Amino acid sequence: MKAARISDSIWALHADIDSTDRFEGIWPIPNGVSLNSYLVRGEKTALIDLVRDWCGAAANLTSQLADAGIEPSSIDYLILNHLEPDHTGWLAEFKAQNPGVQIIATAKGIELVKSFYKIDEGLRAVKSGDALDLGGVTLHFEETPNVHWPETMMTFEPISGTLFSCDAFGSYGTLGKRVFDDEYYAEEHAFFQGESLRYYANIVGSFSLFVKRAIQKLAPLGIKVVAPSHGIIWREKPQTIIDRYLKYADYMEGPQEKEICVVWGSMYGNTKRGLEALLKGIEDERVPFSLHRVPDEDVSFVLADAFKSAGIVIAMPTYEYRMFPPMAYVLDIFERKHVWNRKALRIGSWGWVGGAKKEYDEKVASLKWTHVEGVEWAGAPDEATLALLRERGRELARAVKAG
């Protein structure tokens, strides 16, 4: 990959990560992810966001800096918008190559430089409204806490109108040789839209209130280019990704899409049979739904659909007096990621004795879900139960449509 030019003074550098390692050690990335950094050159030189040395990312960054005529050792300022190690993991090695570099971050970010990397020299804390004059080009800093962790800030370059937003406005998915929005076809954008939603739900979703606050704060800047540290750089239609993020942020508490995310697990097919009847009820009302079987499907994908859907079905059997264990994990993630304010329905079979309901009720108590009355049955569902399940499916679908 070559460095791509954003303006006379700004280069986009990126490394594509194709790895079976999970992102944050949790989230699968079958389509990879990019780690983007940015070089800004005035009379002085700044590098914005670094990489973790993952799948050759550090060598890649060095080679793209060389494309732009820069050695790591000649960079004057390293700006760290966010300290998570996907953007800073290579910091100690970089600092060893360039001991004189000045590292710029928020005060909380500087503390993390010290704790993560044991670096305590050449550090400069900045706050909202501070600027860095590179000679001919100036960078402005805005604190945007909790997008994605408390120390986060964004950097803005007003001549080109480029916002370096780090995790915000990012996506999973590698970029290859094309980094700008206007270089992708509509169907490719549809793919990235799906991966941006999954990224948002996985990484940023629980901070949605802060996302909205940050977007409000940044609106007066006159953003012409959105340059995140994962995914596409938006220079033709930057508002597309900003609006998309605003919509995703709304999903946390609502409104969500009038769709139903069905999450199910079944041991011997009895819960599955009941679910099939319920799905007919949803189809009767023509409400779109997504189906996710656990534990077969990773929670990363389940969460993406749950995050955007107004309705949720949880179908699982009782297992050893409690919930089906893979579903307990899914609900734990829903709780952590603030999948709030849904219309919900829980169904499931039990064999020897029940128990899933009690644990489920406790688990979802904090999620502010409005439930259609659930259905539980012993063993195989009989005809009356199947008819009831179909009716409850209709009821949920109608509730979702009503909003």
Q: Which residues bind ligand FEO (CB under 6 A)?
A: 82, 84, 86-87, 148, 167, 229-230
Smallest gap from Cβ 213 to ligand FEO, in A, equals 17
Nearer to ligand FEO among residue 202 and residue 256 (C-beta): 202
Nearer of residues 14 and 230 to ligand FEO, judged by Cβ: 230
Query: CB-wise, 27 or 141, nearer to ligand FEO?
Result: 27
In 141-170, which positions are buried (b, 16+ CB within 10 angstroms) versus exposed (e)? bbbbbbbbeebbbbbbbeebbbbbbbbbbb
Task: Choose between 117 and 264: whose C-beta lies nearer to ligand FEO.
Answer: 117
If the CB atoms of residues 84 and 181 are measured against ligand FEO, the closer one turns out to be 84
Distance CA 158, CA 218 (A): 12
Q: Which two tokens stand for residue 116?
A: 């993560």
CB of 357 to ligand FEO, least distance (A): 37
Identify which of residues 37 and 162 has a Cβ nearer to ligand FEO in the complex: 37
Give me the phi and psi of 18, to 5 degrees please. -110, 100
DSSP 374: P
Listing DSSP states for 248-284 in one string gives HHHHTTS--EEEEEEEE--SSSHHHHHHHHHHHHHHH
* Cα gap 371→181, rounded to integer Å: 41
Say if CB 184 and CB 178 are below 8 A apart.
yes
Closer residue to ligand FEO in complex, CB, 89/311: 89
| CB of residue 6 to ligand FEO, shortest distance in Å | 20
Token digits for 149?
Answer: 């962790």
> Cβ-closest residue to ligand FEO?
84
Nearest distance in Å: CB 166, ligand FEO: 7
Written as six digits, the tokens of 291 are 């189906």
Report, in Å, the least distance between residue 134 CB and ligand FEO: 25
Q: Which is nearer to ligand FEO, 203 or 279 (CB)?
A: 203
Give the residue among 46, 68, 76 at the shortest CA–CA distance from 138: 46
Judge contact between 34 and 55, C-beta under 8 A.
no
Residue 133 C-beta: closest distance to ligand FEO, Å: 28
| One-letter amino acid of 191 | F
Question: At closest approach, how far in Å is the CB of 83 from ligand FEO?
Answer: 9
Q: Residue 203 phi/psi, 5° resolution?
A: -105, -45
Min CB(295)–ligand FEO separation in Å? 26
Cβ neighbours for 28, distance < 8 A, ≥ 6 positions apart: 22, 298, 300
